Amino acid sequence: MARRDRNQRSPLLSRLDVAVSPYLFVSAFFLLFAVVGLFPLLHTAWVSAHDWHLIGGQGDFVGIQNFVEILGRERFWRALANTISIFLLSTIPQVFVALAIAAVLDANIRTRTFWRMGVLLPYVVAPVAVSLIFAKVFADQSGILNAILGTWGFDPIGFHSDRFASHVAIATMLGFRWTGYYALVLLAAMQAVPRDLYEAALVDGAGRLRQFLAITVPTIRATIIFVVIAATIGGLQAFDEPRMYDTLGRGGSDRQWMTLSLYLYELGFGTQKSLGLAAAVAWILAVLVLAVSALNLLIARRIASPDVPRRERRGRKEVAA
């Protein structure tokens, strides 16, 4: 009788196993995300609604007063403008240069493994070391770059005193660190493109550039969108490079290159030690990242497949006819 009961229960257990097992397998990620991602996010929202001091702890409930105070400060808008400027100067070249490097590495070149490992070396170097080295390269008077410009008869550039020049320097650091990583991500997608497509295009007389634009880019569209979004998030949250660009780490004497992340750190752990204001800046930065990422996703999809809706409508009409 017991054996019969086990046999009768086995179909039910099998159905439960099929239905529940996938959720159990992925539950570990969601539990970890809830602990280290969702809870800090909700706690930051709670802190932003209070007069919370780093030493004194939680104070009175102030609602949106922290956001109103932040939006009324001139330094916040200066940090926002710096963040957007550095983001544009770093992200756009990163994507195009990464695409070019990935296309070269995907070609039939010698010692491909060596070059693929070489482009990843800047990514494994500590960001602090990269910032310290480039701070010397972009020094105002004694830097390597100014020394090269001096030999050509150009005046030295104030990479720390000039606002735009400091943005170019920090954007160069970000590009040096991340371009190789994005190139390998794009290269992995290019390796999955069927080679018979290139052979057919070669028979039709298409050159390498035409093959790249007509076959490679549309095929790896999803990976390009991922790289654009990842570069957007990294560019808007830049902290290590502007923090280590000078010895004080405050974004310049006039906050020429202070980013929102650096401003957040200054509010929470600087002279004010106001975690409520810092949390408000953190949420503003999060909304900015989400908005720019969504805009990049929309633009990338429109550029990659501008005529897809038209082809779909045409196909539906043909099927209906």
Residues 71-128 pLDDT 10s? 999 999 999 999 999 999 998 899 999 999 998 888 877 777 778 788 888 888 888 8
DSSP bridge partners of 53: 57, 274
With cut-offs at 50, 70 and 90, classify the pLDDT of residue 304.
low
If you average pLDDT over residues 219-237, what whole number do you get?
87
* Among the ranges given (20-24, 258-262, 286-290), the one the predictor scored with the smallest mean pLDDT: 20-24
Give pTM, 2 decimals: 0.80
| pLDDT (average), residues 282-305 | 81
Q: What is the CATH number of domain 74-305?
A: 1.10.3720.10
Q: What is the distance between the alpha carbons of residues 150 and 137, in angstroms, rounded to a whole number?
A: 14
What would the pLDDT profile of 129-170 be if each residue is shown by its tens digit? 888 888 888 888 777 888 888 888 788 888 888 899 999 999
- Do 176 and 101 touch, CB atoms closer than 8 A? no
Task: Please report how the helices 163-191 and 74-106 are oriented relative to each other, as an axis angle in degrees rounded to 10.
Answer: 40
304, 221 in Cβ contact below 8 A? yes
Least confident stretch, 2-16, 94-108, 245-259 = 2-16
At a CB cut-off of 8 Å and minimum separation 6, what does 64 contact? 49
Q: What is the pLDDT of residues 52-87, one digit of tens each?
A: 888 888 888 888 999 999 999 999 999 999 999 999
Dihedral angle of Cα 70, 275, 47, 42, to the nearest 10 degrees: 100
What average pLDDT score do residues 195-210 get? 83
Q: Evaluate whether 80 touches 260 at the Cβ level (below 8 Å).
A: yes
pLDDT at 81: 93
The per-residue pLDDT for range 204-225, each reduced to its tens digit, is 887 888 888 888 888 888 888 8
The predicted structure's pLDDT at residue 318: 45
What's the pLDDT at 303? 63
* 317 pLDDT more than 50: no
pLDDT of res. 9:
53
Identify the sign of the CA torsion 129, 131, 136, 138.
positive
Q: Judge whether 205 and 150 are in contact, CB under 8 Å.
A: no
Closest listed residue to residue 116, CA positions, set 130, 129, 126, 102: 102
Half-sphere exposure of 242 (CA within 13 A, CB side): 35
Rounded to the nearest 10 degrees, the angle between the axes of helix 74-106 and helix 260-269 is 130
pLDDT above 70 for 31 = yes
Alpha-carbon distance of 189 to 274, in angstroms, equals 45
Confidence of residue 10 (pLDDT cuts 50, 70, 90): low
Q: State the virtual CA torsion across 300, 208, 118, 174 in degrees, nearest 10.
A: -30
Mean pLDDT of 171-188: 90
CB 218 within 8 A of CB 259: no
Q: What is the mean pLDDT of the chain?
A: 83
Across 250-278, average pLDDT: 88
Residues 6+ apart with CB under 8 A from 272: 266
Given a cut of 80, whether residue 314 has pLDDT beyond it is no
